[in-house]
Amino acid sequence: MTARKVPADEKTTATKPRRPGRPRGGAINAQQREHLLDITLALYAENGIGETSLNAIARKAGVSPAMLNYYFQSRESLLDVVVEERFLPLRQRLVAHFGPDARDPVTTFSAFIREVADIIATHSWFGPLWMQEVTQGQGGLGQHIKSRFGHAERDRVKDLIEGWQQQGLLNPDLEPQLLMTSILSMVLVPFSRFANEPGYNPDLIVQHTLSLFCHGIGPLKSSQ
């Protein structure tokens, strides 16, 4: 029996290894890139950053791990992109309330609380991700941001709080960093627990948080 003669082009295809480079499927466009970041954030919020692999993101997005590696290089590089493009702009909205124009503590923190609530309501991943990562301590999202982007904004807020304490405008026994974590928790925990239950809504949670922060648990004093 005579063996089939292999055409030259078929032989070349069979023996020539594929050159390294862009994965099959072409370049991702801006919309696809944003979709990948959306999926990444959803998995971060669901499972935690440390438990989310590139393979898991690729499976959820319906793309190959090679494509993610090509466009984002590594899991750490992808995290940097997510933090820089998605998280830091929201963080900037929050720390902007503690800028040079900040007024008294109650006014400033009240605006901050409303801003946190708005971010939670419009970015479904923010609350769960914060709740996941705040328990990670030194290995969590906060530590990653500090190591990659510095401490300047945190220190600016800390200096403002300490200034209010020195002026007698804020309880001197409060520790600035614990105060910020406590206020975030006062908003985020009720949103995570009650936001989708009948009888609760974002406005009610915000009003409760403002009342607790501004007036504590004591009875309101009569204006007379």
Mean pLDDT for 38-56 is 92
| CATH number corresponding to 76-215 | 1.10.357.10
Name the more confident of 36 and 148.
36
Break the chain into its structural domains and give their ranges. 76-215
**Helices (H) then strands (E): counts for the chain:** 12, 0
Rounded (10°) CA dihedral 137, 143, 144, 146: 170
pLDDT band at 22 (very low <50, low <70, confident <90, very high): low
pLDDT computed for residue 215 by the predictor: 85
- State CA 182 to chain mean position distance: 18
What does the mean pLDDT of the chain come to?
A: 83
Beta carbons of 35 and 61 less than 8 angstroms apart: yes
Is the per-residue pLDDT at 222 higher than 70? no
Amino acid at 68: L
pLDDT (0 to 100) of residue 9: 45
pLDDT of residue 14: 44
Q: Rounded distance, CA 151 to CA 143, Å?
A: 10
Q: What is the DSSP letter of 20?
A: S
Instruction: Give the residue-averaged pLDDT of 94-117.
Output: 93
What's the pLDDT score for residue 15? 43
Percent of the chain residues past pLDDT 70, beyond the cut: 83
pLDDT of residue 40 exceeding 50: yes
7: CB partners within 8 A, 6+ apart: none
pLDDT tens-digit readout, 71-95: 898 888 999 999 999 998 998 999 9
- The pLDDT confidence band at residue 6, using thresholds 50, 70 and 90, is very low
Mean per-residue pLDDT for 137-151? Answer: 70
The pLDDT, as a whole number, for residue 27 is 63
Mean pLDDT of the region 46-59:
91
**pLDDT average, residue stretch 204-219:** 88
Distance CA 206, CA 183 (A): 11
Check if the beta carbon of residue 177 is closer than 8 Å to that of residue 185.
no
| pLDDT band at residue 10 using 50, 70 and 90 as cut-offs | very low
Residues in the chain: 224
